[in-house]
Each structure stands twice: as structure tokens, then as C-alpha cells.
Chains A and B, each alone.
Chain A
């Protein structure tokens, strides 16, 4: 026989309070979803749907058709992925982009932080200098590529300055130097944006820390290494992530600077191959498979950077 234990005198108000708290939390939850809805819809439509569709395309012999045209797009499973992973041109492009990221991301982080630190200490012509660094970022790559070609062509200014030390074949037609040259260009072009990020972060590093370091007899280098670098750690993680993601999507520069990924594929990027395969050659399913692989690679690198860069309790 079941027994019913009567509630203690104080339990009834507690239960009522608990029920009210649950209702409050539910109301807050609904409100939260309502406030989040515009962004969730944005993410769903702009990111999740295309990503899901790309995964769908990559598993089919997909191609674009005119509206109303009935065609068979058979399911091919992992065939596009296997083809991509065994295609020497695709593998080369992933290798190229890793080389690019290694140079571009490293240079971006180091130079942006150093230049931002120097700019932060400048008193005269501060606005002029900041605009000067930011200008290439704002200018269309198509326009800047012309300048870069003028500088780095066989008879360009750089080679004239280098004289007998100029590489042969020249920078952009040299299999070893084409991708590093592109990485250098992209670093230069994007640096203004990253300098701004670091400048913002530097405003949050307390002056008293530098004063304390000076009191302890720290040199400028020691103050930079022990105060500035840890002080902008969160900005560094952001710069790493942004530079990696934008760098992995490299397209315009090899398309324009090296005439479609030359010489001999030394500067092709996965996105350039996706463009060739998906748009020019009419194989968007295969291009989507390369794109999904690129997303996985980029997420992997970004996760690693986030994990390495996050602050840990000692």
C-alpha cells in the first residue's frame, strides 16, 4: 500500500517558488530565442544551408541546370572525395596553401603586433601613419596586383635593386618563390586591418604594468615580451583565426598575379581549383568535395590555434 507523506509546512511555499522560477526561466528562454532568431536565421540561410547543400552536392554527380530541366544527378557517395584526395593537382594546391598560411599567418601576427606597438607610441603623424597602413587593405586587389607585378616582374624594381642577387627565374614564375611572393603580397595588403585590431587591444594593456616593469629594470624588449605579448593574447588568437580563414580562401592573388596558379601549379590554391572545376569545367559536385575538405582542414587548424592560444590557469 502506497503511503502519502504530507508536505512539511515550509515545503508548499518552496514548491510554489520553484514553479514560479521555472516559469520565469521558460519566459527568459523564449525571449532569448526571440532575440537570437534574426541571427539564427542569418546563420541558417547564409552559412548552414549552403554548407549543407555543398555536402549534398559533393556526394552526387551534380551539375547546374536551367530551371525546369529534369536531369539525373546520381548519388556517388565518397567518389568525389576519393578523386580529390588522389588528384595530384588538388594535393598540390593544399600543400601550396599550407605553405602560404605558414608564411602569411606568421608574418601577419608578428609584423602587425610589432607595428601596432610602434604606432601606439607614435605621437606625431599618428593618423597619417595609421591610414597609410590601412590603405592597401581598402584598395581593390585587382588594382594593387598591377603595382606588385611592376615591382616583382623580371625587370621590375625589386630585381633591379637586387642586381645579380635577383632570382632566376624571377619571383612570380619561379616554382619555389611564387607562393612565398603571393604570401608576402597578401600579408602587406591585409596588415592594416590586423594592426587596427592590435591597436584596439593595446589600449587595454594597463600603463601601470609597463611602469612596474620599468621599475623592475626591464628593457624595452623585456617589457614587450612580458607585458605586451601576454596583454594582447586574445587579440592574437583572433588575428590567427581570421588570417587563417581568409588565407585558406586564397583565390584572387594566384588568379591575377601568377596567371591562374602558375608556374606549373606552384601557386594554385584549393579555391582556384574549385573555380576551375566547378565553374569553368562544369563539375560543381567535385568542386564542392574540395570545398568540404578545405572547410575541415581550416576548422582543424583554427581549433588547434584556439587551443594553443587560449589562456590556461597555472
Chain B
């Protein structure tokens, strides 16, 4: 062995030894004591203006009442996505106690990493979650029966439309009928041909896994009557409802009613498109800029809005194992999702707390803000991404098939859905 080879061998050996030492044990007893410990905690919340205002007010309210168990709140550190930042923090052992922006699609991986506390291990954990969220909580239950996330708030996606552009296109701007695929397509063609907007609607045509949540999944949820894309470890989206939803979008792209190129910024906000598929967070963003209205997502037969399901676009709260004072963190979590704080969240952000009987809980808000009423109603019919550690992989498989067969219009659509479904079923079975 020559000198260089020796140096390389030593370096590699050193690496392997360190790697072998990197996974240690002894975490169980520390976790047990942390579950009962009380004291100061840290939390992360989202960095948009409205949620920041809610987060700061909530922290202040808690700290005033609990000077011995103070919260240190901060925005989620910058990164390509919140999920990557949280994943890295879990690995490094620097995750905060609570993150008020945990994406359901990432929860399975965080759980596999050993980064999340099962909230059902608290004596009142499961009962609190199920009492607050009702039947919808089931979608967030892990396979082991635990809750590794608290369903917090949702942004049920609907079709936003620009009333001024609809008027220009000769469409009914106050009560447009976009309930069926055919009526939606007819309206979209009028918008395009009249020159009211460059595109009728413009969901991101790109390949990122999460984009599936804002085009195919809402329409599939509606068409299938509230079915998840995986049921009993088997992909469902290659059924008749999936084909119908995918065919609708394929027509949109084939006729140039949506762009195949990504638009910089928000296409609806910059008036490049006359419609958008988005949740109620957008109301405050478009306030004073766009004269908007909203309707439920279309279905082939035109289901009434009161029966139409959609994608939730939920963000939940996770309690992380790096937390040293988990008893305090659980109390903070209950405080932050109490009826009072949920009301504050609704008022400040317009996002829907995931509470059973939401509209009955906050009648004054919905009376004063009728624009939110239909979103409050829609919040009762939402579908979530499938759970487990392979959620992102499943969504990527679906997205890859979608961009090829729907956006680019290549190959046989049913075959593409079948192939993606086979991959997803394999992943769901692992």
C-alpha cells in the first residue's frame, strides 16, 4: 500500500469508526423525565405578517400568566422549506418544543426520525385532540394509534375568481356557475378568447411534490366524495374520479387555458390569470387589490357546494422530542389551541382553526366577515394527504406522472395514473 492509499484508508476508517459511534442510546429515560418536566420552552411560528402577529400576542398572553414557564417565540429559521429546517433541527437536537407550522406531509418522516412526541401519551392527549377537532382528527392519527401532530388550522382550497375579469369576459361576476367541468371549461375559454386575462387559471405546472395538493388533489377529493389518495395502504387515484379530474386538467393545459411555464410571483395576484385555486389565507393578501369572489372546486356532475370536498392545506403543531420541558409544552399547546386563541387566530389570519362546529363557535366573526363563511363551511369537508414516512415520495410519484401526462399531455393518461398508483401502493405497503 503506498502512502496516499494509507492516508485515504486511515481517513475512511476514521469516518467509519465515527459513523459507528454516532448512534447512541440512553434516550428513553431522558424522554420519560422530559414528559413530566416544567420550565421555559421555545416555539417556532410562521413568518407571514398575520401569523406573526397572532404568535407574538399568544406568547405575550401566556408569559404574563406563567412567569416561571416562559415561552421564547421566534420565526422558523430561513431555509428552502420549513420542513427541511425542522428535519435538520431534529437531527441536530436543536428543534424547539413546538412548531406551529408542521406540514402533515412531513410528520411521518419526523416521527420516523424520533423527533416527535406522541401526544396521546399525555393523559388527556387523545381526548383533547378528538374533542377539539372531532371526526376530522382521524385523518391525523398515526398507524400506531398515536397522535404525532395536533391538527391546528386549515386553508380549504376553493376557486378564487377576479370579478372584473369575469365581467370583461361577459360572465356572471356575482354568481358564476363553475360547478361542472364543462361549465368551468366554457368560462375559461371565454376568458381566454375575450382577452380578459392571459390565462383562465394558472396552477404551478412544476414538478415539486407539493404542487399536487393545489391542482389534482382538490379536484380528486371533490370528484371522489372525500376520498384520500391512499386508502387501506392502496392508491385510489387511478379510479374513475381520478381519471375525470386529470382529464379536466389535461384539457385546460391542452387548450392553453393555463400556462405550462412557471410564472414568477402569484399569477392571480398579478392579474396574469382570472382564477386561482387557493385557501382563505389569500383573502387578506388580495384585499384592496383584486375584486374577488370564490366558489367550490368543480366536479364532473356539478355537486352542490355543500357536498363538495377539497384539499385541506392544513398546518399542524408538533411537540418535538428535543424539548426538555414537555409538560409545559403540552400546556402551551392546549392554551394556543383553546377556543379563545383559535378565535384570535381566525380574526388575525382568516385561516380556519380545525375545530368541530367552527361556525357555531365563532358566530360573530362569520357574521361580520361573510367572505369567510363559505370557507368556514368548506372546512367541514376536507381531505388530507396520506400519512406515514413515505408521503413525500408518494406525492412525488403522483406529481411526476401528472406533469408528464397532464401538463405535457404525453402518453396515455389512464396508464400514467395506473403506473403512479402502483408505485404509491408499493410505498404504502412498506
Contact = CB atoms under 8 A, between A and B. Distances in A.
Interface string B72-95: 000000000001100100111101
Nearest to A284: B91
Nearest to B389: A282
Nearest to A175: B408
B164 to A, nearest CB: 22
Interface string B254-274: 000001111010000000000
A169 interface: yes
A136 to B, nearest CB: 19
B316 to A, nearest CB: 18
Interface string B18-43: 11000111110010000000000000
A56 B15 CA distance: 8
Interface string B299-333: 00000000000000000000001100000000000
Contacts of B206: 258-260, 262
Interface string B203-244: 011111100000000000000000000000000000000000
Contacts of B109: 282
A285 B199 CA distance: 43
B61 interface: no
Interface in B376-430: 389-390, 392-393, 396, 400, 403-404, 407-408, 410
Contact of B112 (A53, A153, A276, A282): A282
A149 B396 contact: no
Interface string A29-70: 000000000001000100011111101110000011111111
A286 to B, nearest CB: 11
B26 A68 contact: yes
Q: Counting chain B CB atoms within 10 Å of each CB, which of A170, A279, A281 scores highest?
A: A281
Interface string A247-272: 00000000000111111110000000
A230 interface: no
Contacts of B93: 66-68
Given A52-B14, A56-B16, A68-B25, A262 B403 contact: yes
A53 B113 contact: no
B156 interface: no
Given A154-B261, A279-B84, A281-B393, A259 B23 contact: no
Q: Which of A44, A149, A153, A263 has the most CB of B within 10 A?
A: A263
25 contacts: A49-B14, A52-B11, A52-B12, A53-B15, A56-B16, A56-B19, A65-B23, A65-B115, A67-B24, A67-B27, A67-B92, A68-B24, A68-B27, A68-B30, A70-B27, A71-B114, A146-B264, A154-B259, A170-B261, A259-B205, A259-B206, A263-B408, A276-B209, A281-B390, A281-B393
A52 B16 contact: yes
B8 interface: yes
A172 interface: yes
Nearest to A53: B15
Contacts of A279: 84, 87
Given A172-B261, A259-B206, 11 more contacts: A49-B11, A52-B19, A55-B12, A66-B27, A66-B115, A67-B92, A71-B23, A173-B261, A265-B207, A281-B396, A282-B113
Contacts of A40: 7
Interface string A222-261: 0000000000000000000000000000000000001111
A263 B404 CA distance: 8
Nearest to B320: A66
B396 A259 contact: no
Nearest to A72: B23
Contact of A66 (B83, B84, B90): B90
